């Protein structure tokens, strides 16, 4: 099931505009980092406690027992290139996590992804894996990435995005019902070119200013 944390901020566009992350010409600036910080703080670390470890904290008054995220349990896998724009925000929260990369490009005729690069940590099968991709449109890139990770033995996988289309959510849930989806917004639909509507256009171009 897709888990939307959208209810905790007005809208992703309004939020980013108010905080100066959309410029006058419409280019995104660090939008992904901000949204990922937001999403990351809502991840269900507490649901199973498997990602937490006990730690002793010393306050000005006394010592106490608390919990912190076990950073060595996690791996982040951004889908190139747009996913890299989100990496800094989540690394700030879990700085010692391992990083993998999946390189894909979209066939503009079929709208299907083509893989040109795939490299992940050797112990990926022992880690909780968070896939980073700003847009869940058709779901093709995410589905292929999940399959590549599962071939390497990964079992605990989550998909983090900024905007999702109902079609992409449906496709991913049908193929991989065990993978939780986190998004800040579920938009209306896909158009005839398989772009999310209203969406934000091509995420890579918008983040890196290449159009």
List residues with catalytic annotation: 106, 110, 202, 205
Where residue 92 falls (left for φ over 0; alpha for ψ -120 to 50; beta otherwise) is: alpha
């Amino acid at each position: 099931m897709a888990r939307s944390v959208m209810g905790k901020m007005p809208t992703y566009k309004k939020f980013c505009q108010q905080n100066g992350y959309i410029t006058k010409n419409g280019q995104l600036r660090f939008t992904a980092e901000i949204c990922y910080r937001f999403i990351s703080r809502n991840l269900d670390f507490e649901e199973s406690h498997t990602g937490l470890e006990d730690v002793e904290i010393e306050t000005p008054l006394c010592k106490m027992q608390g919990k912190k995220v076990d950073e060595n349990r996690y791996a982040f896998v951004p889908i190139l290139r747009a996913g890299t724009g989100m990496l800094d925000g989540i690394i700030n929260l879990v700085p010692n996590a391992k990083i993998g990369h999946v390189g894909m490009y979209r066939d503009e005729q079929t709208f299907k992804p083509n893989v040109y690069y795939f490299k992940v940590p050797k112990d990926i099968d022992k880690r909780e894996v968070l896939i980073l991709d700003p847009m869940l449109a058709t779901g093709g890139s995410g589905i292929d990435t999940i399959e590549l990770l599962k071939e390497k033995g990964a079992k605990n996988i989550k998909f983090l995005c900024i905007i999702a289309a109902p079609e992409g959510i449906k496709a991913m849930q049908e193929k991989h019902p065990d993978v939780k989806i986190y998004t800040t917004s579920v938009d209306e639909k896909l158009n005839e070119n398989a772009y999310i509507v209203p969406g934000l256009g091509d995420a890579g171009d918008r983040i890196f200013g290449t159009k």
